[in-house]
Amino acid sequence: MNTTTAAVLVPLLPALAAAVILLTGRRAPGFVQPLAVLPTLAALALAVLVAVRQRGEEPLLAATELAPTGNETLPIELALRLDGFAVLVAVLVAVVAGCVQLYSTGYLRGDARYPSYAALVSLFTSAMLLVVYTDDLVVLLVGWEVMGVCSYFLVGHYWETATARSASLKAFLVTKLGDVPFLIGILALASDAGSFRISEIVARLSSSLSGFELAHPTLVALLLLAGVAGKSAQVPLHTWLPDAMAGPTPVSALIHAATMVAAGVYFVARLLPVFAASAAALVVLAVMAALTMVGSALAALAQDDIKRVLAYSTIGQLGFMAGALAVVDREAAVFHLMTHGAFKALLFLAAGVLIQTAGTGSLAALSRMRDLRRRAPDAFWAMTIGLLALAALPPFAGFFSKEAVIGAAEHAALDDAHGASSSLAAPAAAGWVVLVAGLATALLTAAYAARLWLLAFHDPVRARTESVPPGERASAAMTGVLWLLMLPSLLLGLAYGELPKWFDGGSLAPTLTTSVLATGAAVLGGTAAYAAWRRAYESAQAEDPAPALLGPLRPHAEAGFHADALYAAAVVRPVRAAAGLVRFLDRAVIDTYVRGAAGAPGLLGTLARRAQTGNVQTYLSALVAGALVLGVAAVLVAVGD
């Protein structure tokens, strides 16, 4: 099997599995689990094969025309581009999807809608793999939108609850709000570049000999960033992601770790020269990333729901990736994407075990979790390793990738090209914004990671007298997946020396200054959280260190800084008021004319019907009267003449 054929089969196998499950799942439920797991694992094996053969060498391109557009220079092509970025991200997607499918066999055992769930997860996986491998913007858009539809159904899996229904609708609408300008941006970019092929667009913009420039680089970049903000949950289109936790926990792991939210970051990485063509767009991206990082970290520090803590954490870590792209270092961005995919999948799947063991149901409240260190030792170690990686403490994976991002920001801020692998330049302002926000977020991230660990595994004094119903033990498939994901969460960061060979060169090695600053900030944040928790623990007056850490900011942070309320005031209420006005005009004005137009002929008919009495004498009297009137009129006319 050649490399191109293997690459085609990688997204095709999960798609075929989804189709077969949807067609036969209800009639043959016993075959659903093998159909969900085995094709995904086969896709993983093929993705690894493609990566081994590619080895970071020259990109492998293949294309066939899919549909004409009426313009011979702008065909839609089923095109593949297999470079170091694509093949490694595809392996990450397949690993996480395989783990999620295997984990779900235990987590959703007995669920009546498991066949449709498994089919949607397979289709979701196929769509993300298509986004990773494709070299055509329109085909990428197809995978992009299929993921949006799948997320709508998966987040709303428990549709009996109003929370799940509302969350699925919110996720769909908010992401679509960004997808409209995203589509316009793709069409504008293709029109300017004369091609839908990503490799051709990037080659023309990167070559100093081509003389090619976009006609409106800032406008195109900002239109594309709107879609990226929606899909990757960046400010101001981030509000859908915390609410999406209403879906099953494995879905949360899939969405957060390697699909859906990672698509926006990966898109910018693939088309980075387009964004680098506008310094204004890079500054906008840097500010967006900074607000996202700091705001989400503060919100995570105030949440009681464990899944919402992790959701805000994902938003912040995506902000780190966006910050790396704002300083035009896509190697650091994709490096953090890969390590984050590993440890965030581990954290969410471990959270699922904790929720199931604690018996807290869909609430997933930290304040209700008791004695989990003893009752769920596998999840305890998984959560511990995942949180250490999230807090970016050495030697865990998150330390190396997050340090690469902060180091790239430092180089951009100081106008230092050390470590950079391309000729693209970032504004110094973008570097400073990302650097300061990154260090502040490193401190806050360690604080909320320490708080989560303490609340989940160390019972507060007052909780010892509370009666909590026991949950059920996790299956072997669930705990096995946790141990499997612990390895990359611990060791993947050590690949910083090899990854540049797969990327564009440069260096991902930690630097002394930023390593000390970032690690010091993380240690300070974790220590502050522990000290606040210890005071609360000893006084037995409180269970949560968040009020002491955040002070009067706590209620605002817990409410996500009222972003939903702002949207309700700025968008929802005006739209509903406009809809009410349209309904009034439709009923009171337009319907009045319609009813009048329909009623006038009826009134005339009624009058005419009354004249038709059927009485001959009446008719003769009317004729005589009419004749007399005409006669009198004729006489009067004659006299007048």
Task: Report which DSSP code applies to 329.
Answer: -
What is d(CA 449, CA 578) in angstroms, rounded to the nearest whole number?
A: 44
The beta-carbon contacts of 626-634 under 8 Å, at least 24 apart in sequence, are: none
Question: 481 and 103 in contact (C-beta within 8 Å)?
Answer: yes
Res 641: pLDDT: 67
Helix, coil or strand: residue 49? helix
Could you give the C-alpha distances from 439 to 290, 428, 514, in angstroms and in order?
10, 17, 9
What is d(CA 557, CA 149) in angstroms, rounded to the nearest whole number?
A: 30
Could you give the C-alpha distances from 325 to 151, 274, 628, in angstroms and in order?
26, 12, 98
Q: Among all chains, which residue has been given the structure tokens 């509000």?
A: 239
What is d(CA 400, CA 406) in angstroms, rounded to the nearest whole number?
A: 10
Give me the DSSP letters along 344-370.
Answer: HHHHHHHHHHHHHHHT-TT--BGGG--
C-alpha neighbours within 13 Å on the C-beta side of residue 307: 28
Res 460: pLDDT: 54
Length of the chain: 641
Res 464: pLDDT: 44
Q: What is the pLDDT of residues 288-324, one digit of tens each?
A: 999 999 999 999 999 989 999 999 999 999 999 999 9
Nearest to 413 by CA among 490, 534, 568, 517: 517
Res 470: pLDDT: 58
Q: What is the pLDDT of residues 367-387, one digit of tens each?
A: 777 778 888 899 999 999 999
Nearest to 406 by CA among 308, 496, 508, 548: 508
Three-state secondary structure of 193-210: HCCCEHHHHHHHHHCCCC
Instruction: Record the pTM.
Output: 0.90
Give me the DSSP letters along 405-446.
Answer: HHHHHHHHHTT--TT--SS----HHHHHHHHHHHHHHHHHHH
What is d(CA 102, CA 475) in angstroms, rounded to the nearest whole number?
A: 11
Question: 224 and 189 in contact (C-beta within 8 Å)?
Answer: yes
Give the strand pairing for 60-67 and 76-82: antiparallel
What is d(CA 370, CA 365) in angstroms, rounded to the nearest whole number?
A: 11
Res 208: pLDDT: 66
Straight-line distance from the first to the last Cα atom of the chain, in angstroms, rounded to the nearest whole number:
111
Two structure tokens written together for 233: 């949950």
Q: Among all chains, which residue has been given the structure tokens 């406009």?
A: 578
Question: Under 8 Å CB-to-CB from 359, ≥6 apart: which residues?
Answer: 468, 469, 470, 471, 472
Question: 257 and 98 in contact (C-beta within 8 Å)?
Answer: no
Question: 443 and 524 in contact (C-beta within 8 Å)?
Answer: yes
Res 420: pLDDT: 47
pLDDT beneath 70, residues of the chain: 72-73, 208-211, 360-363, 416-423, 459-471, 540-542, 641
Q: What is the pLDDT of residues 505-528, one digit of tens each?
A: 888 999 999 999 999 999 999 999
Two structure tokens written together for 28: 């043959």
Q: How many CB atoms lie within 10 A of CB 512?
A: 8
What is d(CA 254, CA 276) in angstroms, rounded to the nearest whole number?
A: 30
